[in-house]
Chain A
């Protein structure tokens, strides 16, 4: 009973300290998220703007022998289309060499439609070739080139589909496509988010733990606590709980900044991805569990290192190797391969968090693995509380000069 209330007294004091200090609150919680949001938004807007600029001085697409079957597609491209009355030789020779001019020149072989119909891929002849002259030094020319290329590739795909014998019904194809999209989005997020979240949580922990432990040691305020009859374990638990809350808030704020700016940023990029991120509430709750358990381990590690350090500055230095480890582990999902099957792999701290998050984000949830991750992390935190208690009890650690 007394145990509980002392932990609560410590937590209350830490909260009063954290939330009562506007500048601390601002720099650790509000600023990171806000900064990321504004920077990303700005980035998105700039990209959007440069695209608009492109559209203003319109790019011209010159086409020779435009086949009838493609006329509709070319009419709808967001560039000015010219199909006759130009000198192809002059275009290739002079105009395209000037990177200030925005144009491309598309050359279809004559009678393209019949060529295509007659073409036998097994015949050993070279396939009909479409030449697109462009200047990759000019943003506009390059953009038009990529766009036209995309149109043609699309068209080529649709043509071969037309000859598919066992074509699936359009409905079935559409659902299949959707799944496909999710999968690739999931793969990207599964690689990106765990690393991002780990780094954000880490910087959140770094913003609060060293000052709260090494700082108190340096300033001599922790010694004042140590002459009260409070148990050292109560101090350790109270510190880890409150610091974890602050680090979590800081990490989540940054993450929120990213999530909120992501749709605007991608829209600015002209990429038309459906950003309704397809995770269920259950997924989010699991992620939250993994995150909380991870923050506990991170705060524990940084607290122990901070207790060893003689001041905040040396705590920062001592934490560096840990940061490198966490960063490296954060990158593991990008090294390819699925999350490990062996459940024992989820006993490895940090690695377990990263892989669990990756598996949830990439729709490849392994409930047992996530369970083991959370349980292991809580166990490690308990061990860390024990270690930190021993350290608070050690005069060498607390008062060694």
Chain B
């Protein structure tokens, strides 16, 4: 197996503001979002981070995408450190999360060219890729419509296509089907499977069991910022449905605390 991602003991602690303390219903000033997390992912597989709300999935993915830095630990993506070689990492990944938005004023067509240029993609190559991707996602129909006038599903598709402008090897996808109707969700999962076929590595996060069962080759279960289990889907399931197995794990972890 060709290892493309190695996460080594990353931790991330946030200092909470007064307002956040209220939301989290805590008097603690610090929140450990990710706690000494390690895992690996192999080239060409879909790796799923599964965990409940607030488990630290998004935080982990943001660290991998170099938007934030871990307090300790490091992750090596395709041989490059997310701590010290951010630019190399950034040119090899696509990062998709609801936090990253496209500018309302522009059209998918303009934004694709814009991001291709920022990634230094040669013009002809970018044009060819745009043609294929726009066709594949049916974006041709709204390529010249400003982002602000697109529906949620169209926006999600546009985001995906634009994030692929530089043909990255690794796709980091936070909650791929959140907020999408069944049709759009289906086209997104189909697309992820297709990307795997093309040899790309996909790291996704979700709290939806069916998505993991349908797509993922390997799974990491995150609870309270810690990776409690990390294995192939079948090994994790251990003969049960993923849902039942998850609650078993959850009970042991939480039960041990009390």
Q: Quote the shortest CB–CB distance from A307 to chain B (angstroms).
A: 16
> Among the listed B69, B95, B101, B117, which residue makes an inter-chain contact with A220, where contact means beta carbons less than 8 Å apart?
B101
How far, in angstroms, from A221 to B103 measured CA to CA in the complex? 6
B90 and A227 contact, CB distance less than 8 A: yes
For the complex, what is the distance from the CA of A273 to the CA of B246, rounded to whole Å? 88
Closest CB in chain B relative to A188 CB, distance in Å: 43
Docked complex Cα distance between A323 and B44 (Å): 56
Q: Which of A291-345 contact B (CB under 8 A)?
A: none
Would you call B93 and A227 a contact (CB within 8 A)? yes
Q: With A6-B118, A20-B105 as known contacts, state yes or no: A395 contacts B87, CB within 8 Å.
A: no
A13 on interface, CB distance cutoff 8 Å: yes
Instruction: Name the interface residues of B160-197: CB closer than 8 Å to any CB of A.
Output: none
Residues of chain A within 8 A (CB-CB) of B251 are none
Contact B67 A227 (CB under 8 A): yes
Q: Which of A5, A223, A227 has the most CB of B within 10 A?
A: A227
Q: Closest Cβ of chain A: how far from B12's Cβ, in Å?
A: 10
Q: Do A399 and B91 form a contact, CB below 8 Å, given A17-B105, A224-B100, A230-B118?
A: no
B228 interface hit (Cβ, 8 Å) = no
Q: Would you give the shortest CB distance from A177 to chain B, in whole angstroms?
A: 57
Contacts of A401 in B (CB 8 A): 17, 20
The A interface is mostly helix, strand or loop, or mixed, namely helix
Decide if B105 touches A227 in the complex (CB within 8 Å). Answer: no
A219 to B68, Cβ gap below 8 A? Answer: no
**Interface assignment of B104: CB less than 8 Å from any CB of chain A:** yes
> Does B81 make an interface contact (CB < 8 A)?
no
Interface contact B87-A9, CB-CB below 8 Å: no
Q: Is the CB of B101 within 8 A of A219?
A: yes
Interface set, chain A 369-401, CB cutoff 8 A to B: 395, 399, 401
Q: Can you list, as one digit per residue, whether each of A204-219 has a CB less than 8 Å from chain B (1) or not (0)?
A: 0000000000001001
Residues in B neighbouring A226, C-beta threshold 8 A:
67
10 contacts between A and B (CB under 8 A): A5-B117, A6-B118, A9-B114, A21-B105, A223-B100, A227-B65, A227-B67, A227-B90, A228-B118, A399-B67
B-side residues, CB < 8 A to A, are 17, 20, 65-69, 87-88, 90-91, 93, 95, 99-106, 110, 114-115, 117-120
Task: Give the B-binding residues of A (Cβ under 8 A).
Answer: 2, 5-6, 9, 13, 16-17, 20-21, 216, 219-221, 223-231, 395, 399, 401
